[in-house]
Amino acid sequence: MKKIAIFASGNGSNFQALVDASKNGELQAEVHLLICDNPNAKVIERASQSGIEAFVFMPKTFPEKSAFEEKIVEALTEKEIEFIVLAGYMRLIGHTLLSAYEGKIVNIHPSLLPAFPGKGAIEQALESGRKVTGVTVHYVDEGMDTGPIIAQKAVIITKDETLQSLEQKIHEVEHRLYPETLNKLFAKKE
């Protein structure tokens, strides 16, 4: 079983889906740690309710990114974390983490990348008038949602779609695609 850490900044519905999938045997990994850069995030409550330890920090209290990323690497090392799963972590990953976990960091993004990278991807897809958007799981590099794509799933945008209905459809797909894709990755021989 892979020992994973999930990084999240907000609600944490993907965190919850992965924790639930791990507990009921659908995800071949154990969630050992939450890394969170926002002390007010709902995901912290979710971690505590699931009995998962959280490393919570405030980026502003550190002089630079490498300083808090060093602390994160310490926390990950202490818990013997093998793989990092980003799930709504609203921050670019820096050199310190990328070099400590080379090829072992993935992210989920609510669009069919390379379309609509960055924030507000669901809204932008809706406003663009396109008929299809979706979800992407990709490896993380130093860019904003630019790493190699691992898996994608399309979501149809209907004529009467609202932001709320589209968000709901996207999240439902995310909650299935993420555990499914991670299982495939973890099943591969290294």
Q: Is 95 a catalytic residue?
A: no
Residue 28, token pair as written in the block:
């071949």
Task: Please choose, from the candidates 118, 115, 167, the residue with its C-alpha nearest in 3D space to the C-alpha of residue 145.
Answer: 118
Q: Is residue 152 classed exposed, middle or buried when 0-12, 13-18 and 19+ CB atoms within 10 A define those classes?
A: middle
Catalytic-labelled residue, pool 32, 95, 109, 138: 109
Give kind and range of the element (H or E) at residue 167. Answer: helix 163-187
In the complex, least distance from residue 158 CB atom to ligand GRF, rounded to whole angstroms:
19
CB 164, min distance to ligand GRF, A: 13
Per DSSP, the three-state class of 98 is: helix
Q: Which is nearer to ligand GRF, 72 or 108 (CB)?
A: 108
9 versus 96: smaller Cβ distance to ligand GRF: 9
Count of C-beta atoms within a 10 Å radius of residue 68: 22
What Cα–Cα distance (Å) separates residue 101 from each residue in 3, 23, 104? Answer: 13, 25, 5
Contact 3, 80 (CB under 8 A): yes
In the complex with ligand GRF, the residue whose CB is nearer, 64 or 142, is 142
Least distance between ligand GRF and beta carbon 3 (Å):
20
Closer residue to ligand GRF, CB minimum distance, 13 or 96: 13
Contact 86, 106 (CB under 8 A): yes
Q: Which residues of the chain form contacts with ligand GRF (CB under 6 A)?
A: 8, 10-15, 87-88, 108-110, 174
Catalytic residues: 109
